[in-house]
Amino acid sequence: MNTYMKKSGIFVLLVTLIVACKAPDQKTELDKLKKQKAEIETKIAALEVELAKSDSTAEERALEVSVAAATPETFRTYVEILGKVDADESVSLSSEIPGTVVRINVKPGDRVGKGQVLAETDARAAQQQLVAMQTNLNLLTQLYEKQKNLWEQKIGSEVQYLQSKTQKESMEANISALQEQIRMSKIISPIDGTVDGVNIKIGQAVAPGVPAINVINFSTLKIKADVAEHYMSKVKNGNEVLVFFPDVNDSAVTKLTHVSRAINAVSRTFGVEAALDNSKEYHPNMVARLRINDYTSEKPELVVPVKFIQKGATESFVMVVEKDRAVKRSILITREYNGLALIASGIEVGDQIITEGYDLVNDGDKVIVKK
């Protein structure tokens, strides 16, 4: 029994030693295999990159694009400003002397002529006085004529003749002043036009300077606006003007009839005026949007939408298609307006400018044009 136990103990001890010796060898082997695996994966990734490069070189991929032919057209630029409708003949009339309104002869919308009486204030006292003065004048005129005849016959004194003449002329002057006062009691139109407003009523007291009746000559309407000093060299008499009236959704085409040479010292602007076709119904002070044509190309030029133009560090360029390749063309831009650019050089009539995909291709890339 003792001999068996001794043998068993020796066996267990040997197994333990063998296991203890093998454990470090397996760990070392595992670490070695992991290191080899990492090196293999790195080599695989590198080979895949090289294969991808060789595949793209062997078979180049073409990008699909859209194009538009470069065609010449007339290029125009405009100065855009706000203006308003104005009337050369627009008056706001008032009574020239204080008084009470006794008669109104017109209503809004009536056509009136120059010199027409539109309304009257109470002038009965002055008119009665005028009748009495006329009677006195008749008497003084008769006395003057008799005294004149006597004086011409060398009868009577010169003083009597001069007194008679002076009395007659003084009465004539008084009558003339009273007649002017009676005239001032009337509101008279100084122009031909249309009554635009009546601001008085019968029995109302009026005074000088208080607006009573408005008269406008709608046949002489025009557009007035102020333009920034920067455009002084570009805006000239006769320039075409495109006008839009937002309040009535209407438009018109006209020309500048006046360009002021004086610049406002405060606003740094100068005034312009444009004729208005009065066959349509426009209203004074109506807002108008003006587009004044300040440049028109003498002949059709190549024009490219700005959105198809790319900007480099030192140049502007477009991408065009030549055969089956995208080609970069440097261009010279002379003017830009409303999303369009006037091209002086770099492209020619008929060049196929890339309009879709222009920002995805590089110089020399293979392309396919969409049909």
Element (H, E) at 324: none
pTM exceeds 0.85: no
pLDDT at 20 over 60: no
Where do the CATH 2.40.420.20 domains begin and end in the chain? Answer: 63-74+299-369
CATH class of 92-214: mainly beta
Residue 58 has pLDDT above 50, yes or no: no
β-sheet bridge partners, residue 299: none
Relative orientation angle of helices 124-152 and 158-184, to the nearest 10 degrees: 160
Distances in Å between the Cα of 231 and the Cα atoms of 81, 151, 155, 349 are 11, 78, 83, 32
pLDDT at 330 over 90: yes
Give the Cα separation of 367 and 126 in Å (integer). 98
Pick 308 or 155 by higher pLDDT.
Answer: 308
- Whether residue 63 contacts residue 366, with contact meaning beta carbons closer than 8 Å, is answered with yes
Tokens of 148: 């004149």
Query: 63-74+299-369 has which CATH code?
Result: 2.40.420.20
User: Which one is the CATH code of 79-88+217-296: 3.40.50.300, 3.90.1200.10, 2.40.30.170, 2.130.10.10?
Assistant: 2.40.30.170
Residue 7: the pLDDT is: 46
State the span(s) of the chain assigned CATH 2.40.30.170: 79-88+217-296
pLDDT of residue 305 exceeding 80, the answer is: yes
Give the Cβ contact number of residue 67 at 10 Å.
Answer: 19
Rounded Cα–Cα distance for residues 241 and 336 (Å): 19
pLDDT digits (tens, 9 = 90+) for 191-227: 898 898 999 999 999 989 889 999 988 888 899 999 9
The tokens describing 236, both together, are 């000239």
Q: Mean pLDDT for the chain? A: 86
Q: What is the pLDDT of residues 144-173, one digit of tens each?
A: 888 888 877 877 777 888 888 898 888 889
Which pLDDT band holds residue 355 (cuts at 50, 70, 90)? very high
In the chain, where does the domain assigned CATH 2.40.50.100 lie? 92-214
